[in-house]
Amino acid sequence: MRLGFLFLSSSSSSVVGSSISRSIVRPAPSLLLHRPFHFIPNRTTTNSNHFQFSPRTTLTASASSMASTFKPEQARVPPALQLPSPPITKFKIGLCQLSVTADKERNIIHARAAIEEAAEKGAKLVVLPEIWNSPYSNDSFPIYAEDIDAGPDASPSTAMLSEAARLLKITIVGGSIPERSGDKLYNTCCVFDADGKLNAKHRKIHLFDIDIPGKITFKESQTLTAGETPTVVDTEVGRIGIGICYDIRFQELAMLYAARGELIILLVKFSGDFSCGTCVIRSLLSFHWQEFVDGRSVNGIVPLLSTEPTPSQLSSECCSESPHPCVSCLKASLGTLWADNPCHTQQLVLGNSIYQGAHLICYPGAFNMTTGPLHWELLQRARAVDNQLYVATCAPARDVGGGYVAWGHSTLIGPFGEVLATTEHDEAIIISEIDYSQIDLRRTNLPLEKQRRGDLYQLVDVQRSSSQ
């Protein structure tokens, strides 16, 4: 008999909400991987209609439900597996293209008014521009920087975002502001959930250092420090990857976001009675900090640790002639990573992987008058169509009298590379609809993930590699 069982991906120190849509199912050899990246779960707990539990609650409910409903005649016909989906699969997003002045207090008040207007128009997710509380210049960054971790008094900009998210019951991707942390400055985006809690903090990974003679020269590295961690966050409106401006030029980062957050169906195969199978499942429940990933490359990213034990790793309690490793085999090969389980004769085999990366990547950005006309929309559409997901960008409005003149043109791109909504260079608020079912549709139309040639090209996730 086989029992379907879901494992949700998680960070090393947090639990994961099930902000996930149905997607393509593909084969998965057995590999195990611990993910140290900045994956921030949704901590909201709601009713079971939306599967919005912590993973411990979700998995326990799944096992209990399976145990109580199991009938002997189902031994050869396993029960259908119900997949979790986001609490919202179709919603409105608001992109607030704002004018920015040298008056921080005015900028904060102005941004709040825009957020409130977007929420009044039905937006459940609101995105602000890059560096919306400060002029965009190396001279301004140290002056306007805020210590986000020091609390609301030290960071009035994020205090406003937190309060607005809580009162309006929306998710806010707070553009970016200059952040001070110790003696370093960062270009930082904060994500707040509908309870006003800081759900993620992304520091710009790729600093804007360019030199186009006769056009523009800018070096963020003169004052800012590059972030070290990619950010994927589970929210009330789906799984979101975060990048800031220049980050959009690097397809590898978008590929990580499209791949991270894998859902795996674990099939438990055993020869004993159902109570023994339940014991196996219970042992797996205690193993909630690790996640299983697909054995072939995911968007070209190489899995790094196989759970298939070598002959020397097989324990004496294992049937070494079995085609699949049993619990004791896995424990022997993984050591303390595998939970204790007395049913050593039971056999485990990994089943299918359900492709569940980010649904949406948000890029607050301020492209300039040189690169903007040529590259801004091109890069957005490329990231969306390459990874078959939504891309949302939000820019400051153009100020021709400012020291840095932004291109504007905040935009929402669909998973087929289509421009769903955009604006010109003046202040504007875009309200547009996101429908996650379009992701499934386009990945069915063009099944790129199934067609990738992992035997010819692969992208190594360095953070995963270094953690092994």
- Give the SS3 label for residue 436: coil
The catalytic residue among 92, 104, 204, 331 is 204
245 has catalytic annotation: yes
DSSP state of 368: B
Catalytic residue among 96, 104, 124, 130: 130
| Residue 431 phi, psi dihedral angles, 5° rounding | -120, 120
DSSP 231-286: EEEEETTEEEEE--GGGGG-HHHHHHHHHSS-EEEEEEE-SS-HHHHHHHHHHHHT
Distance, first Cα to last Cα, the chain: 34
For residue 186, the tally of other CB atoms under 10 A from its CB is 24
Q: List the one residue out of 360, 118, 413 whose CA is nearest residue 238.
A: 360
38 forms bridges with which residues in the sheet? 231
Q: Are 34 and 9 in contact (CB under 8 A)?
A: no
* Nearest C-alpha neighbor of 406 from the set 136, 141, 144, 157: 136
204 is catalytic: yes
On whether the CB atoms of residues 414 and 441 are closer than 8 A, the answer is no
Q: Point out the catalytic residue in the list 245, 318, 343, 362.
A: 245
Taking only Cα atoms into account, the Rg of the chain, rounded to an integer number of angstroms, comes to: 24
Distance, in Å, from the CA atom of 316 to the CA atom of 163, rounded to the nearest integer, reads 59
Backbone angles phi, psi at 77, to 5 degrees: -130, 90
Give the active site residues. Answer: 130, 204, 245
